Structure formats: structure tokens, C-alpha cells
Amino acid sequence: EDQVTQSPEALRLQEGESSSLNCSYTVSGLRGLFWYRQDPGKGPEFLFTLYSAGEEKEKERLKATLTKKESFLHITAPKPEDSATYLCAVQANTGNQFYFGTGTSLTVIP
């Protein structure tokens, strides 16, 4: 069964304190792994797509990496505006639906 597990559930960081979020997945053939950011009262907003093990993507203070079993979202020197819930989702190559994790709620304290 296709499944996504994210850890930790919640993370509090001081401004400037770098850390990583984890997304472990099992899928019957990976078409893509997606990272989204969700702010309160809003829908998820796309950040990255990763397609194969070893791939990396960067955007400002965020860097996403992918292995055959997991993905990491590295946050370097975070700022308070990075506070949000970060969601990981996978899409199997056998269909078009996306399987989401429950997310990591990140709080960055000034």
C-alpha cells in the first residue's frame, strides 16, 4: 500500500537554527515526490518536485533531497516567515492520485 510518513510532527526552531524535515515513503513505483507548504487557512502551495534518487532542488533557504526510501527538506538559517506546515506527497506511476503525509508544523521563533 502506498504510504507517506512525515517526522517530526512539530518542530520549533530559533531564527537561524538550521534543521531537516523527513518524509519516508513506500510506493509501488515512484512517479514523483512533492513538497508543499501550507499556511493557516490556505491550501497547500507547491515547493518542489523530485523524480529520482539522488536528485536535489533548492529554493531560497530550502533544499529538498531524495533517496529510494525517503526525502529530506533542509531548512538553512530559517526566518519567522518560514513558519508553516510542510507537506510531503508522492505520486505512483500506476495512477494519478497523490498520497500525502500528515505534515510537519514548523515554528521559527525570532
Hey, what amino acid is at 90? V
100 binds another protein (CB under 8 A): yes
| Minimum CB distance to another protein smaller for 13 or for 47 | 47
Number of residues in contact with another protein, rule: CB under 8 A?
A: 24
Judged on CB neighbours under 10 Å (0-12, 13-18, 19+), 105 is middle
Residues 48-87 that bind another protein (CB under 8 A): 49, 87
Name the segment binding another protein (CB under 8 A); options: 14-22, 31-39, 64-72, 73-81.
31-39
Pairing of strands 10-14, 104-109: parallel
Binds another protein (CB under 8 A): choice among 18, 28, 97, 107: 97
